[in-house]
A and B are shown apart, each in its own frame.
Chain A
Amino acid sequence: MKRIAILAGLLFAGPILAQEEQSSAPYAYRQIDDPAKEAEAQSLMESLRCLQCQGQSIADSDAPIAGSMRSLVRERIAAGEEPEAIRAWLIERYGDYVSYAPQLTALTWPLFAAPAVLLLIAFLLLRRRFGSGSGEAR
């Protein structure tokens, strides 16, 4: 419920953010001078969701809120913060929804179990087929 309230607040804040964008989001369309830090920021931005758009990362969107978030990410990276710390901060404020990289939680563990299960099934299928010879299907 709290998350929904935050999301709703965020949506209404959109137009205000748009107006403020010019003064408060200096790094929306500007890169960090240090290429290494810019690369770090870029890979973080590609894995953060633009909350107003449909299925776009903040690195791929013209929406004002994406610009604000890009600016925030670049400013913090430039100030020396770790990308994962910024991601954690954003998740705390906006919920898991904001991160395209699912975090391992009580809710998302099946996502990480799935590949292991698939590996196991693939292994069993292939072993049944080629394993002992007697295991071959008719």
Chain B
Amino acid sequence: MIAELGLAALWMAAALAALQLLFGSLGLTARGQVLGQAVRPVAIVQGLLALLAFLCLVYVFAVTDLSVRLVALNSHSMKPLVFKIAGSWGNHEGSMLLWVTVMGMAGGFVALVERRLPERTMLATLAGQAFVSLGFYAFLLLASNPFERLSPAPVEGNGLNPLLQDLGLAFHPPTLYLGYVGLSIAFSFAIGALVTREVGPPFARAMRPWVLAAWIFLTVGIAAGSYWAYYELGWGGWWFWDPVENASLMPWLAATALLHSCSVLAARNALRAWTVMLGVVAFSMSMIGTFLVRSGILTSVHAFAVDPERGTFILALLAIYIGGALTLFGLRASTVSEGERFAPISRESALVFNNVMLSAILGIVLFGTLYPLVAESMGAKVSVGPPYFNPMSAIFAVPMLVVLAVGPLLRWRRDTFARVGKGLVIPAMLVVTGAIALVVIGGVSLLPFLGLALALGLAWASVLPLKGRNLRRTPLPIWGMVVAHFGIAVSLFGMSSESAFSVEKLVAVRIGDIVEVGPWGVKLDTVEPVAGPNWTALEARLLVRYGTNGKVTRMLPQSRSFWAPPQQTSESALLTRWNGQLYAVLGGEAPRANGTDADGRWQLRLWWKPFAPLIWLGGLLVALGGLLALVGHVASDLRRIVARGKIAYRRERQGR
């Protein structure tokens, strides 16, 4: 019953999206203006209906209603409740439903609160939003119905991939989706502005909170996903340039560029066409990412050909939306002037430079991710991985980081290096000192070398915009910028340090043996079986000590066996100190030496990773910076609205 209710709600939401598109477009014409008034309420109800459908899906997963096909395929009655609920979006259909839900809710929210833009632009924006939603509703209802029934109902479900049964991963996809879909609002605003040719500071101010919010979610999502891969996969890697990761990185790169050009547009009324273009590109990257992950094309072009319906559907949607938006852009771009001018040495120029570099990195990631598919369709399989992505993106990232240190110190419109030069002496000296120290230490390869040296200078330079300011009166967005840029430096330092100084030890030890990893001594104390709700495991007790006279601490890595579906995972144990992380994994029982009986040795994998946690701490700082900026902008918008209301009220009274 609940499943049918969900399906009905989904159909009605789709119908309302069609209505929203129709009324929104008619509302733009002279005769249809009356219809335009219905667009906002329709958008709100559409969002609520999508939410209802999603809650119905969560409900059937929570009670494990096995007569619903999706539940039978992806859930299991013997699973902790939180993973049952998380299971509702841990699959293709559910995640697409989550996508339209978030999109509908976001559209409804815009319809409810956004009053700054001309009403015509709002109508075009909401019609654009409905147009995008409609495609995804069609995809859900026609090609991947989440509420399909199964008859007869199976006795037990298939279970959820054990790797996904982890709190971090349960909330990782929704976070990314919030980011992806937040960019759909930016996309709709861009479409709306193009249709009515109203590109200017009010447009940028209306779009900015959405871009910021989406960007915060993407940042957190990527950092969390990276940390999940780090501790769950059990080999200490944290970024693999895997297509799925790239799918989340590409929208982030575009959103970062969009965010900065949005600021230029809002503050200086410059870079109009460029901002609109990035708004289109950012959401296109979200859709391409979803296509890559959801169509099965990643495993192989052949997997795509086996079940072509969904892939073709998304591909068609991509062609319609991206192609349509780019065509509109091509038709209208010439009528959108670039706006105010600025000199080559100015804050705008630094932002333009960084925008171009971010776009180039985006180009590299996109090309490197898609090229294996192109090659495969030409009959040959190639792999593109870290040895390609790392140096190629560094070509653009290194100049970008240098400009990042200088840019925030420059004034708008026109400035000279002579004015800001003095402040940059200390960061420059930090870079040189760091570089010399690294040469003395030796054995650091080029990219980590550059990263470490630049991180030192960047960390100092990033706080310079606060110099000479009254800290209590510094606007929140400035704080946000400083925190985010400092976060970049912190994260860069962590990444470089991890790849330059990690120590790895793979050993087979008996109970009681002691192994040294970097500064740590690790003793294998016991190995004992333990059991969880849907797994059994071997758990090693390691006693570890930092240096010769540090405190002894326990670590408990496990080697888990899940039974539904049957799979082995290793649960790593992490011990964090201020200067790094000790990472321990229990392998199996070691193979016997020379064919004799098993001799009770256990395989251990140990890593000492200096400053590795800074990678994710930096990522969170970046997100926090975004949050500060978001709160600052929203608060000042609210203040302005309240002030305007007061003025209107006073005028009204005086008029009487």
- Which chain A residue shows the least CB distance to B391? A115
Partner of B349, one of A21, A23, A130: A130
Find residues 18-47 in chain A having any chain B CB closer than 8 Å to their own CB. Answer: 21-23, 29-31, 42, 46-47
Contact with A along B500-520 (1 / 0, CB 8 A): 000011111000000000000
Assess whether B244 is in contact with A107, with CB atoms less than 8 Å apart: no
A93 neighbours in B (Cβ, 8 Å):
none
A30-B508, A31-B504, A138-B338 are contacts. A47–B363 as well, Cβ < 8 Å? Answer: no
Assess whether B384 is in contact with A60, with CB atoms less than 8 Å apart: no
Q: B234 on the interface (CB 8 Å rule)? A: yes
Partner of B356, one of A97, A102, A110, A125: A125
Assess whether B367 is in contact with A114, with CB atoms less than 8 Å apart: yes
A55 neighbours in B (Cβ, 8 Å):
240, 242-244, 298
Partner of B368, one of A46, A61, A111: A111
- Interface secondary structure of B, over-half rule: mixed
Q: A96 on the interface (CB 8 Å rule)? A: yes
Tell me the smallest distance from the CB of A92 to a CB of chain B, in Å: 14
A54-B299, A115-B395 are contacts. A31–B506 as well, Cβ < 8 Å? Answer: yes
Find residues 96-138 in chain A having any chain B CB closer than 8 Å to their own CB. Answer: 96-102, 107-108, 110-111, 114-115, 118-119, 121-122, 125-126, 129-130, 136-138
A101 neighbours in B (Cβ, 8 Å):
385, 387-388
Assess whether B375 is in contact with A107, with CB atoms less than 8 Å apart: yes
Assess whether B381 is in contact with A111, with CB atoms less than 8 Å apart: no
A residues lining the B interface (CB < 8 Å): 3, 21-23, 29-31, 42, 46-47, 49, 54-57, 59-62, 95-102, 107-108, 110-111, 114-115, 118-119, 121-122, 125-126, 129-130, 136-138
A136 neighbours in B (Cβ, 8 Å):
341
Tell me the smallest distance from the CB of A95 to a CB of chain B, in Å: 6
A126 neighbours in B (Cβ, 8 Å):
352-353, 356
A62-B568, A107-B380, A110-B371 are contacts. A115–B392 as well, Cβ < 8 Å? Answer: yes
- Which chain A residue shows the least CB distance to B242? A55
Find residues 364-389 in chain B having any chain A CB closer than 8 Å to their own CB. Answer: 364, 367-368, 371, 375, 378, 380-388
A29 to B590, CA, bound (A): 9
Tell me the smallest distance from the CB of B227 to a CB of chain A, in Å: 15
Assess whether A118 is in contact with B338, with CB atoms less than 8 Å apart: no
A125 neighbours in B (Cβ, 8 Å):
356
Assess whether B371 is in contact with A111, with CB atoms less than 8 Å apart: yes
- Which chain B residue shows the least CB distance to A39? B443
Query: Nearest 4 pairs between A and B by C-beta?
Result: A100-B385, A101-B387, A137-B338, A22-B591
Assess whether A42 is in contact with B504, with CB atoms less than 8 Å apart: yes
A22-B592, A138-B337 are contacts. A97–B384 as well, Cβ < 8 Å? Answer: no
- Which chain A residue shows the least CB distance to B505? A31
Assess whether A96 is in contact with B352, with CB atoms less than 8 Å apart: no
Q: List 27 A-B contacts (CB under 8 A).
A: A21-B591, A22-B592, A29-B506, A29-B508, A29-B605, A54-B298, A56-B240, A57-B385, A59-B237, A62-B234, A97-B381, A100-B385, A100-B387, A100-B388, A101-B388, A102-B383, A102-B387, A102-B388, A107-B375, A114-B364, A115-B364, A118-B363, A118-B364, A121-B360, A122-B357, A126-B356, A136-B341
B592 neighbours in A (Cβ, 8 Å):
22
- Which chain B residue shows the least CB distance to A113? B367
A61-B235, A126-B352 are contacts. A100–B338 as well, Cβ < 8 Å? Answer: no
Tell me the smallest distance from the CB of B243 to a CB of chain A, in Å: 7
Tell me the smallest distance from the CB of B522 to a CB of chain A, in Å: 15
A130 neighbours in B (Cβ, 8 Å):
344, 349
